[in-house]
Structure 1
Amino acid sequence: MLRFRKVLIILFVLQSVLSYSQKILSKKEKYKVIDRIKELIDTQYVLANKTEIINNSLDSLKSTKKYKNIKDYRNFAEALSEDLVTISKDQHFKIQYNPELVSSRREERKRWQELEQIGEAENQKEVFDINYWYSQKINFGIQKVEILEGNIGYMKLTFFDILQWAQSTIDAAMGVLANTDALIIDIRDNGGGYISASYLASYFFDEKPTVWNIGYERPSSLRDTTYTYREIGGQRYLKKPIYILVNKKSFSRAELFAYCMKHHNKAIIVGQTTAGASHGIDFLEMDDNFLIQLPITSSIHPVTKTDWEGIGVIPHIKTTKEETLKVAYTMILDELIASEKDQELGRHYDRLKKKYKGIKEKTTN
C-alpha cells in the first residue's frame, strides 16, 4: 500500500510540473519570497563577502517595481533566477515554483519522522524510489564504454550518480577498459552529480589515499576533506595516458572531476573552457509554493588552493567543438608511437593516426 501511495504521489508531482498554474501571484507573496531569499543568502550563501551586494541589488530591483506586473508564479521564479545569476555571477542560483514538490517533501519528512518514532524506518528502505529507477534507465550516467582502434579506451559520462547506486557499474566499465593502452573520458555536456566522481578518479591513483578536494560549507562553517579510495572494485589504471574531453556545458561536479584530475597531473584536458560553476548547493523551501537552489559550499583544491568558480576549467589543449575527440585521439596515438619499442606496432599507430585525421567528428555540442 505504501508503495502504491508513493507512486501516486510521484505521478502527481510529475504531472504538475508539466502544467502552468492559473493562480494569481500577489504582491504580498512576491515581497515575502524576496525577503526570504535575502535572509537565506545572508545566512547561508557560500560567499559571505558578496551577500550584502546581492541583497542590496535585490532591494534595488524591488524598488524599481520590476516585479510589479508579474502575476504568474513561474514567470516570477524565472525572473528571480535570471536576476540572481546576473547579480552574483553564480550559475547555481535557481528559484523554482513547484507547490506540489514542496508539499510532497514535507509529507515525506513527516512520514519518515513517524516511521523513526515507531522503529519502522529501516523496513521502508525497499519502497520504490523514482530517482533510483531513473538512474538505472540512464545506466547511472555511463552512456558508452568502448575500445577504439589502437586499443584506446573510451568512456562517455553524462552524469556522476550516487556512489551507492553507481559503484558496481563504474567497476564493470573500468573492467572493460582495464587492458587498454590509453583512455579517453568524455564529460562534455555532463551536468555534474555526486561523489562517484572521486571514486572513479581513484582508479587513476595508487592505493595510498590522496586528498582529492576540500569542501567548505558556510552554514556549518565546516570543512570536509575528500580522499581517493584505498579500496576499489577493480584493477587500477596507472601509468597510461588519460585524456578528458570537456566543453562549456561541462558543469559542477563534472568540472570538479576535470579540475582535480588536471591539477593532480593525472590527465590532459582537451576541449573548450567549462561553465565555471564550482559551488555545491542545497535545495530549500521558501514558502508553500517556491524553492531555492542555493549555493552553500565551495571547493578548495589541495594544489591550487582555490577553485574554478566563474573561470571554468581551462583545457591544456583548446579545440573547436567539432575537433575535440579527434585531437585527443591523435595526441594519444602520438604518445603511443613515441613510447612503442615494437616498430611494427608503431607503424600501425601511425596508420591509424593518418586514417583518423581524415574523419570529421559527428557532434551535437
Structure 2
Amino acid sequence: MRQDEITEIVERAAKLVTEQYVFPDLAERIAAHLGDRLRDGRYADVTDPAALATLVTGDLQSVNGDSHLRLKHHVAALPERDEDPDEGYWAREAAATMGGIARVQRLAGNVGLLDIRPCLFPPQIAGDAMMAAMRLLGGTDALLLDLRGNRGGSPDMVALVCGWFFAEPAHLHTMYDRAGNAHQFWSAAYLPVPPYEADKPVHVLTSAQTVSGGEELAYDLQQLGRATVVGERTGGGAHPCVGHRVHPHLELTVPVLRPVNPVTGTNWEGCGVIPDVEVSAGAAQDMAYRRVLEALLAADPQRPTADEARAALATLP
C-alpha cells in the first residue's frame, strides 16, 4: 500500500469516528489517538490492507475496548458505496439456514432444546419459523436455549423471542444515540402461540462466540430473572454500528447506538454476559440439562417422565 493511501484511510476513519461514534467525548480521544499514531509512523511499514486493518483496529479499541469499533478486512471487494444488506440478502440467508432455527428437539425427561444460529433474523423474514419452533416446544417442562453459535441479529426478533417467556410486556432496554435521543424496546405483547409458562425452567447456553443480538437475548432473560445462563462469558459487543467503505477491501464499523438495561443501568459492552454457571461451551449443554432434570425431579419425583429423566441423568457426566 502507498503511504498517501494509508494516510487517507486513517484520516477518514478518524473523521467518521469524530462525527458518528455514540460517545462524542471518547470519539475525540480516539480520533486524536489515530492521528498521533499516523504521525508517529505506526502504519509506515504496512504493505497490505489486512495488516492495516489489524493495526488500526487495535488503536481504535485501545481507548475503551469497544469491539464493534473496528477496521474490518474483506477478501472480496466491497461495493463502491456504503450499503446495508437489503431484505433480499437476509431472506436468502434465512432460507439457507431454516430461519436461524438450527435445531428443535425434545430431550429425555421432556426437556426442550432450541438452537438459534447463525443469527436472529428479522421477524418479517423468520417469524413464522420461530413460531413453529415455539409451538413444537410449548409442551416441554423445561427449555435449553442454545445461543453458543449465535452471532447477533435483529433486536425486533429478540423482542419477539422474549415475548414468549413473559405473560406481560417487559421493558428490555432503551436505545440511545449520541445526542441522547431514546427509543424503548419491549418484549412482544402478543404472539400467536401460548406463552412458555413462568414456572418452567429456562437455561441459556453461551460461548465466547455468542455476540451482539445473541448476547442481548441472554442478557435480557438473565437480568429480568427469567433464565439461568450457563456456559462461557460472551464476546462483549453491545453497540449497534454502521459500516463505511474506506478502501475496496476495508470497512470501518462505527457504533452509533447504545442500549441501557432497566435493571442494571448499563449493558454487556466490553465485559460480555457473565454466566450464572460458568463452564466451557462444550460442557454447557450437559451441565444445563443435568440442572433442569434435577430440578424437575425435585419438584415432582412421580412426574410421568420421571423414569426417563433418571435414566438420562445416569448418562450425563
TM-score (norm 1): 0.79
| 1:170 aligned residue | 130
Q: Distance in 2 between matches of 1:280 and 1:200?
A: 19
Structure 1 residues 344, 288: CA separation in 2 closer, same or farther (over 3 Å shift)?
Answer: closer
CA contact under 8 A between 1:168 and 1:233: conserved in structure 2?
A: no
Alignment of 1:70-219 (within 5 A): 70-96=46-72, 100-103=77-80, 105=82, 129-158=88-117, 159-195=119-155, 196-206=157-167, 208-218=168-178
Structure 1 residues 209, 84: CA separation in 2 closer, same or farther (over 3 Å shift)?
Answer: same
| 1:330 and 2:290 aligned | yes
Q: Distance in 2 between matches of 1:45 and 1:343?
A: 54
| 1:47 and 2:23 aligned | yes
Question: CA offset at residue 251 of structure 1?
Answer: 0.6
| 1:9 aligned residue | none
| 2:32 aligned residue | 56
Question: CA offset at residue 234 of structure 1?
Answer: 1.4
Question: CA offset at residue 326 of structure 1?
Answer: 0.9
- Alignment equivalent of 1:268, drawn from 217, 221, 228: 228
Structure 1 residues 340, 187: CA separation in 2 closer, same or farther (over 3 Å shift)?
Answer: same
Q: Distance in 2 between matches of 1:131 and 1:244?
A: 25
C-alpha distance after superposition, 1:233-284 (max 9, x if no partner): 3121112110000111111111111111001111010011111111111112
- Matched-pair identity in %: 24
Structure 1 residues 289, 310: CA separation in 2 closer, same or farther (over 3 Å shift)?
Answer: closer
- Alignment equivalent of 2:265, drawn from 305, 325, 344: 305
Question: CA offset at residue 351 of structure 1?
Answer: 3.1
Residue identity opposite 1:232 in structure 2: L
Q: Distance in 1 between matches of 2:81 and 2:29?
A: 34
Question: CA offset at residue 285 of structure 1?
Answer: 3.6
| 1:69 and 2:56 aligned | no
Structure 1 residues 42, 243: CA separation in 2 closer, same or farther (over 3 Å shift)?
Answer: same
Equivalent pairs counted in the alignment come to 313
Q: Distance in 1 between matches of 2:170 and 2:289?
A: 29
Question: CA offset at residue 178 of structure 1?
Answer: 0.9
Q: Distance in 1 between matches of 2:248 and 2:284?
A: 46
Q: Distance in 2 between matches of 1:54 and 1:235?
A: 48
CA contact under 8 A between 1:213 and 1:225: conserved in structure 2?
A: yes
Unaligned runs of 5+ in 2: none
Question: CA offset at residue 68 of structure 1?
Answer: 1.3
Question: CA offset at residue 48 of structure 1?
Answer: 2.6
SS at match of 1:215: strand
C-alpha distance after superposition, 1:274-313 (max 9, x if no partner): 1111111111244676431111111100111111111111
Write 1 or 2 for the structure with the bigger share of helix: 1
Unaligned runs of 5+ in 1: 1-24, 110-124, 358-365
Q: Distance in 2 between matches of 1:42 and 1:57?
A: 12
Residue identity opposite 1:101 in structure 2: L
Q: Distance in 2 between matches of 1:137 and 1:289?
A: 26
Residue identity opposite 1:223 in structure 2: A
Structure 1 residues 78, 320: CA separation in 2 closer, same or farther (over 3 Å shift)?
Answer: closer
Q: Distance in 2 between matches of 1:327 and 1:97?
A: 37
Question: CA offset at residue 56 of structure 1?
Answer: 2.6
SS at match of 1:192: coil
Larger radius of gyration: 1
- Alignment equivalent of 2:195, drawn from 233, 236, 240: 236
| 1:279 and 2:229 aligned | no
CA contact under 8 A between 1:278 and 1:307: conserved in structure 2?
A: yes
Question: CA offset at residue 213 of structure 1?
Answer: 1.3
Q: Distance in 1 between matches of 2:305 and 2:98?
A: 35
Question: CA offset at residue 144 of structure 1?
Answer: 0.6
| 1:27 aligned residue | 3
CA contact under 8 A between 1:102 and 1:289: conserved in structure 2?
A: no
